[in-house]
Amino acid sequence: GLIWWDSEIYMFPFFLYTDPAKARNLLLYRYLGLEGARRKAQVYGYKGAMYPWVTIAGDECSGDWEYGMLEQHVGSAVSHAVRRYLETTGDDEFLWAYGAEMVAEVARFWASRVTWSERRDQYVINYVTGPDEYAVGVNNNCYTNFMAKASLEYAAAVLRRMATEAPDRWAALRDRLGIEAAEPDHWGDIAAALFIPFNAKLGIHEQDDSFLD
């Protein structure tokens, strides 16, 4: 009965392309777990929603700090699934009613999670465990940073579209979540300046800052 990030990345696409109604239900499950994700973010001092590494009813069920605390890419997988669902089905009603809130809260988490590096002159995400669960507590896991960047960009785009195409729904969401006018632009700025590990000499993206060492 446990749900992991694998659900959105590996299982969700199968249902999306064979039974979209079931895919929608998988996303509704994540919406119903949004309060648990918010509670987890608050526990660790972040904003928005920090989706659990493993859960049953929305709250973190892992007692392993190196996974439950440090595998922070789960929310990005949820945003990715929302994006793929919308691109495939065009179900704007789902986006306005549920999806926009999820992607906005994931973006808020990343905006509070990144750190500005004076040395790199970019934002970084230090001390995480990416999908390679044997590389624990690394800096700038490439997958995590890529997905955070995509989540921030998508959330900004969704809220701008919502403000134009569903202004009443946008106003209600904005007021309920206390979204400030500058937040979507700030998300875009973070995404544009987020460091992505790349080794120019070898021409490859490094898994994290220290992987090749």
pLDDT of residue 63: 87
> Would you place residue 211 in the very low, low, confident or very high pLDDT band (cuts 50, 70, 90)?
very high
- The residue count of the chain comes to 213
Catalytic residue numbers, as ranges:
133
Least confident of 17-21, 65-69, 84-88, 177-181: 65-69
pTM of the model: 0.97
pLDDT of residue 2: 85
> Would you place residue 192 in the very low, low, confident or very high pLDDT band (cuts 50, 70, 90)?
very high
Tell whether the model's pLDDT for residue 1 goes beyond 90: no
Average pLDDT over residues 68-86: 97
> Would you place residue 142 in the very low, low, confident or very high pLDDT band (cuts 50, 70, 90)?
very high
pLDDT of residue 54: 95
Q: What is the DSSP string of 166-196?
A: -HHHHHHHHHHHT--TTHHHHHHHHHHTB--
Average pLDDT over residues 17-30: 98
Tell whether the model's pLDDT for residue 163 goes beyond 90: yes
CA–CA separation, 136 vs 116, rounded Å?
A: 22
Residue whose token pair is 């002159």: 121
pLDDT of residue 164: 98
pLDDT of residue 165: 98
